[in-house]
Structure 1
Amino acid sequence: MNLPPQFTGGLPVQKRTYQDLLALLGVNGAHPGGFLHTKRLLQKLQIQQNWTVLDAGCGSGLTSSYLVRAYGCAVTALDLNPLMIRNARRRFTQERLTVQLIQGDIEKLPLQNSAFDLIVAESVTVFTDIHKSLSEYARVLKPGGRLLDLEMTVESTLAGTELQELSQFYGMNNIPTESEWIQFFKQSGFTIESIEGASVSKTAGSLDVTNSHLDDIKDQELLRIWSKHQELTEKYAHTLGYRQFQASLPGND
């Protein structure tokens, strides 16, 4: 069976990355627990209908869709990957939802200052220049605004060879420890309200691949990337973790 268009996207095989794989497969949740875990965290925030929400790194748009349907709030969905934008646009059209969809970089958000009550970022900030992205989150949040950020974390400082192996595959410069993440948030003006999470070995679930058809994939490069991800997840199960950071900005005096 030939690979369907959604699994090719016109990308040269040699340039495909882990992020491209997520886009091509239409993966909905790239963190342990997937969307069900995100949904549980959002329910704790007591989101109001009059809130403006930014889904930063929206992927296929599942979280944005849920926010609109469950809470009726105004949602802006942003992603840099053109295939993710296409997947999200298809979802919003099929579900007849009004979502502002923007292709853009979270390191330089094409958005106004103090525009949002809440930012949701799911396994995206770690793939960027963390200082730049957190500063941009702070810029576009309203005073008193809140940030829910679910990110890859290491349980202890990695050896050089370990960091190199993970960085080369996942395309990131750094994988912070929990304490390093806390410092990054504080440097950008955030106050940490709560932290949850554990190592991959103690966290239920993996990638949400319900929209994919792995058995139909004949593209050897995509299969290699998927297999490598599975291999690294197992190899570093006690080293890699995820944290759910809830943070806020100071309000107006």
Structure 2
Amino acid sequence: MEKNYTDLLAALHIGGAHPGSLKQTKQMLDTVDLNKQSYVLDAGCGTGQTIAYVAQKYGCTVYGIDQHEEMIQKTRKRIAEIPSPVRVFKGNIEELPFEENSFDMVLSESVTAFTQVRKALKEYRRVLKPNGTLMMNEMTKIGHLEPDEQAEVKAFYGFSELLNQTEWENHLASAGFKQVESRMIPANKEAPGEVYRIEKLDRAYNDMLMYHQLLTEKYASKIGACSYISRLE
């Protein structure tokens, strides 16, 4: 089976591949009121860095879901000794296996852009409780891209569409989120400890990583990231 960008992230053992990493996650979480009675869903939990942090800091019930088997296995190892209630599921966030009004907060970090966005947002809305909060950190178009440039980015990452800030906000509003706060995330360079050890990857992953780094540099002025915090009325 042909490998994709998500397979690459799993192979690199990345804790937080989203822009701003765990520091950005903490800043977003500081804007909400979580406690031991809260139910939180990390939609696209990856290797579990965020759900481990939320469970340990807030002591709340945390669910994670991801469709990548290797990511799920790494998450289960990470959370094995956390005393707070943490559960991990394998599944598709476009068809969440949860009842309506299940969560006080849904968190999605550099995940929704890889889905059929409208479907995913409707699912987030469905599983959130009244007055619940959706927090996203997503790749966002910040400059003009020619059709061939958009095609190049979408083909590599597997995006169905590449959205600017206004388009993300419009999609959120269409899904039923009436209060949307969006903010661009400042670009930051990787810390020395996060430099990828590409010599340990096989050839396919090595080539994929090099191409990812090429695209990141090529479109640095045209593609960024934005946080979107949406509260239901």
**Structural mapping, 1:81-160, within 5 Å:** 81-95=68-82, 98-160=85-147
On the 8 A contact 2:41/2:105 being kept in 1, the answer is: yes
Residue 209 of structure 1: how far off its partner (Å): 7.5
Higher RCO by CA contacts (8 Å cutoff, separation 6 or greater): 1
Residue 21 of structure 1: how far off its partner (Å): 0.5
2:232 is the alignment partner of 1:245: no
2:191 is the alignment partner of 1:204: no
Residue 25 of structure 1: how far off its partner (Å): 1.4
For 2:228, the aligned partner's letter is F
How many corresponding residue pairs? 233
2:46 to 49, 59, 62: 59
> Between the two proteins, what is the percent identity of the paired residues?
35
Q: What is the Cα-based RMSD across aligned positions, in Å?
A: 1.9
Return the alpha-carbon distance in structure 2 between the equivalents of residues 208 and 133 of structure 1.
Answer: 34
Q: Give the match for residue 67 of structure 2.
A: 80
2:219 is the alignment partner of 1:232: no
Q: Structure 1 segments of 4 or more deviating over 2 A?
A: 94-98, 205-210
On the 8 A contact 2:40/2:105 being kept in 1, the answer is: yes
Q: Give the match for residue 153 of structure 2.
A: 166
TM-score (norm 1): 0.87
Structure 2: tracts of 5 or more residues without a match = none
Return the alpha-carbon distance in structure 2 between the equivalents of residues 101 and 233 of structure 1.
Answer: 31
On the 8 A contact 1:52/1:116 being kept in 2, the answer is: yes
2:174 is the alignment partner of 1:191: no
Of the structure 1 ranges 40-49 and 110-119, higher mean CA displacement relative to structure 2 is found in: 40-49
Residue 177 of structure 1: how far off its partner (Å): 0.5
For 1:141, the aligned partner's letter is L
On the 8 A contact 2:45/2:64 being kept in 1, the answer is: yes
Residue 174 of structure 1: how far off its partner (Å): 0.7
Residue 40 of structure 1: how far off its partner (Å): 1.8
Return the alpha-carbon distance in structure 1 between the equivalents of residues 193 and 75 of structure 2.
Answer: 16
For 2:205, the aligned partner's letter is L
Structure 1: tracts of 5 or more residues without a match = 1-11
Return the alpha-carbon distance in structure 2 between the equivalents of residues 120 and 155 of structure 1.
Answer: 23
Of the structure 1 ranges 167-176 and 21-30, higher mean CA displacement relative to structure 2 is found in: 21-30
Residue 98 of structure 1: how far off its partner (Å): 3.5
Residue 97 of structure 1: how far off its partner (Å): 5.3
Return the alpha-carbon distance in structure 1 between the equivalents of residues 192 and 16 of structure 2.
Answer: 5
Q: Secondary structure at the match of 2:216?
A: helix
Residue 29 of structure 1: how far off its partner (Å): 1.6
Return the alpha-carbon distance in structure 1 between the equivalents of residues 54 and 98 of structure 2.
Answer: 19
Return the alpha-carbon distance in structure 1 between the equivalents of residues 107 and 97 of structure 2.
Answer: 16
Deviations 1:45-78 (A, max 9, x none): 1222211000100000010001110000100110
